[in-house]
Chains A and B, each alone.
Chain A
Amino acid sequence: MTADGALDLPALRVQVDAARAAEFARETGFDAGFDGAPSSYPALWLTAPAIHDAIAQICAQADSVPVHESQHFTYQAPLRVGVDYDLSVSMRREDKPPRLVVEAALATLDGAPVGRFEALLRLVPRAALRRDQGL
């Protein structure tokens, strides 16, 4: 992370996996016959080790616990099952209140934009949790 609190991760090659999409659809209330890509499926990519570990490291440095505050998915083109995409992820810190903003851009392999996603994580200081717990 740079001095101004920003971090760009190397682009990830991602794909909507048909089996995982079907499981995700089942767990989020889609009809049994749905065989597409749920619009919120990219949330699964944000738990990929490269992204998860970067978030964990930032939280550790801030001695904070991340609390998911908001999530947005915006599409310029439909998300397809079984198609390779490039996912570019950047993160930046906000101080008031303390937050980590995770932004991702999805594009086809020839660079055509497909979607943009944003997760807002409130960084709750562990000290505040310990205080709330009377520890």
Chain B
Amino acid sequence: MSAGAALAPPAVGERLPAVEIGPFDAEALRRYAQVSGDDNPLHLDDALAASIGFAAPPVHGVKLLAAFEPMLRAWRGDLELTRLGGTFVQPVLRGEKVTLTGRVLRSSQQSVFVRLYAHSSSRAPAVVAEATLRPSKREV
């Protein structure tokens, strides 16, 4: 499909298909730390995590935030991100599954605003995020 054959913008209220990611093991967190350069030992060191009350090291927040982009691309490949942001509300701990969800809050031919959440299985939202998308100029 080319950029000229635009799809209709999503409806306000449309829910994105939920995506499950994880659980992330120690090796996954080590790999992410290596590629990202985020060497905060809190994400890798069981003893340090335990010392501040976590049952296991928390997953890096940006690793979770970044995971919304492939979810958005799978949902609407004809749209591209112009803004992605989020607040890390609660930690997701190593070994926990995470469910990513989203809902369209505003939509027009020019711009789509989506509210996004990352939930672990046991707690309130871990990441509250938002994305703004626009019709893509790339071939999809």
Contact = CB atoms under 8 A, between A and B. Distances in A.
A72 B65 CA distance: 9
Interface residues on B, range: 20 to 34
A29 B70 contact: yes
A69 B31 CA distance: 22
**Max chain A Cβ within 10 angstroms of own Cβ: one of B38, B62, B70, B85:** B62
Contacts of B70: 25, 28-31, 34
- Specify the main secondary structure of chain A where it touches its partner: mixed
A43 to B, nearest CB: 5
Given A24-B35, A25-B70, A72-B85, 20 more contacts: A23-B35, A28-B70, A29-B66, A29-B71, A30-B69, A31-B73, A39-B66, A39-B81, A40-B65, A40-B69, A44-B35, A47-B37, A48-B37, A68-B62, A70-B86, A71-B86, A72-B84, A78-B137, A78-B138, A133-B52
Interface of A: 20, 23-25, 27-31, 34, 38-40, 43-44, 47-48, 52, 68-76, 78, 118, 129, 132-133
